[in-house]
Structure 1
Amino acid sequence: MGRGGRLNAPVQINPQAQVKLRRVGREGQPLLVIDDVVLEPETLVAMAADAPFAPPTGTYYPGLNAPLPRTYLETLLPVLRPSFERAFGIAHDTPLVANGFFALATHRLEDFGPWQKIPHYDQLRPDHLAMVHYLCPGQAGGTAFFRHRTTGFESVDLDRREVYLGTVQAELDRDGDLLTGYTGPQTPNFEITDSVEIRFNRLVLYRSNVLHCALFDGAKLEADVHTGRLTANSFFRPR
């Protein structure tokens, strides 16, 4: 199959996928973990190998991005929709807009800025969702969720934004020299409330406004879809 054909190859959902709902932290934020989500996940890796990776613009993502095949979200969204509704309280008649990209984390620690060494949120609205699909066998790390010790926040919405950003900036000014590693258990002023280990063909889904971060310690940060930390990152919002 040629390059164009592979990029548009069908994606098949595994009917035996294992779905688990967890509640994270004091806020009880929903976290969906789905194992063995697609059949033949190696096909997605092959699609990524054909995709044009490039540094992203306008984001803090520490590496390279490439477009997802159209068939990926077209297949996953209808099947996952009932789980979205149960876990996140999305109304059945609410239309959702989806977008995403393949991601390869490639930056070394010395390339990270201060805000990339602490947990982050993606969007301020709790009805926006983020999804990470691990496509990297043999990798260490995962995704962790955090509480900001000073404010107690585990998520940030519009009402919390000003207080949170002001407090964190003051802490970065004061404690920036202590940020000597990737985000994790030792990150100053934050504590982990839960974490999900990387597993090939595992998918994690959470609200975009929760404080979270990829765990890069021990990961192979290479620009190679077969050996690097390859994920499919997707986002969902009401239309």
Structure 2
Amino acid sequence: MQPLQLNPNRKTTVIPVQEESAHLLVVDNLLVNPEEIVLFARNTAYMQPAINDGTAYPGIRDRVPTAYEKMMQALVSDLALVSDDQTLSIHRCMLSMVTTPPDQLASTQKIPHIDSIDPYEFASVHYLFDADYGGTNIYRHKQSQKVCIDEAGFGIFQSSLEDVRANPDEFSGYIGDSNRLFECVHHIEAKFNRLVIYKGNMLHSPCIKPNFGFSDDVTKGRLSVASFFRID
């Protein structure tokens, strides 16, 4: 993969999450050359089967080259997310495609999830597809009114998972907008070469539209790069 070039004309939008003292960052027109990632996915990547990466991601994945990590380091620095006395650690950047049909989902994949309970962990999704395949939803747990889940509140997630397992007919696929347990409070529309950054302990889920085909063809599928990093 050739070096990835940040677009000097990219646009950053800050979206407050009023339910929490947090916000989302949306960066449009992120790269000058996003096609480099698509070419890597098409010609070089060896996509691993769902859950082989040790996560509950409902699809296939492969790690992207270090060129992407270097780009993320430059982006986070440019966004001034890291102060002089803080350290940025990029954990991993994963080429990702949702390929698991609704009737094959595990219980953990039917509700919003978090990537970590650590408030210093962050995640991003770089969309390499357009709005037709949906974007990302941020959720609030209705009973507790929480959007961000910390160690003290992790029981919320566990009790919700038990409810899903006990009611398979009610919770039968991807969550969509809302259900009895969770309410969608923010929707980030997908757009080619758009990236969204959010806290890793924020309840979120891919927005999968009803007519989505779950293709594993990178030229037709829901291709993205998910990155995970820590600032402390």
TM-score (norm 2): 0.91
Q: Residues of 2 paired with 1:173 and 1:192: CA distance?
A: 21
Q: Which residue of the other structure, out of 90, 105, 113, is the alignment partner of 1:112?
A: 105
Q: Residues of 1 paired with 2:6 and 2:75: CA distance?
A: 8
Matches within 5 A, 1:82-231: 82-83=78-79, 85=81, 90-98=82-90, 99-137=92-130, 139-161=132-154, 163-217=155-209, 218-231=211-224
Q: Which runs of 4+ in 1 moved over 3 A?
A: 173-176
- Equivalent residue for 2:46? 52
Q: Which structure has the highest helix share of the two?
A: 1
Q: Residues of 2 paired with 1:205 and 1:237: CA distance?
A: 12
Q: Deviations over 1:132-162 (max 9, x none)?
A: 000124632110000011121111111211x
Q: Deviations over 1:42-84 (max 9, x none)?
A: 1210011121111223211111111111111112312332425
- 1:32–1:205 contact (8 Å) kept in structure 2: yes
- Give 1:149's aligned amino acid: K
- Equivalent residue for 2:58? 62
- 2:114–2:203 contact (8 Å) kept in structure 1: yes
Shift of 1:38: 0.1
Paired residues, number: 227
- Give 1:181's aligned amino acid: G
SS in 2 for 1:158: coil
- 1:136–1:230 contact (8 Å) kept in structure 2: yes
Shift of 1:171: 2.4
- Give 2:143's aligned amino acid: T
Residues 1:15 and 1:177: Cα distance change in structure 2 (over 3 Å)? same
Residues 1:172 and 1:229: Cα distance change in structure 2 (over 3 Å)? same
Q: Which residue of the other structure, out of 64, 71, 74, is the alignment partner of 1:75?
A: 71
Shift of 1:94: 1.5
Task: Output the aligned Cα RMSD.
Answer: 1.7
Q: Residues of 1 paired with 2:41 and 2:165: CA distance?
A: 39
SS in 1 for 2:53: coil
TM-score (norm 1): 0.88
Identity over aligned pairs, percent: 30
- Equivalent residue for 2:23? 30
Query: Unpaired segments of 5 or more residues in structure 1?
Result: 1-6
- 1:144–1:195 contact (8 Å) kept in structure 2: yes
Shift of 1:92: 2.8
SS in 1 for 2:152: helix
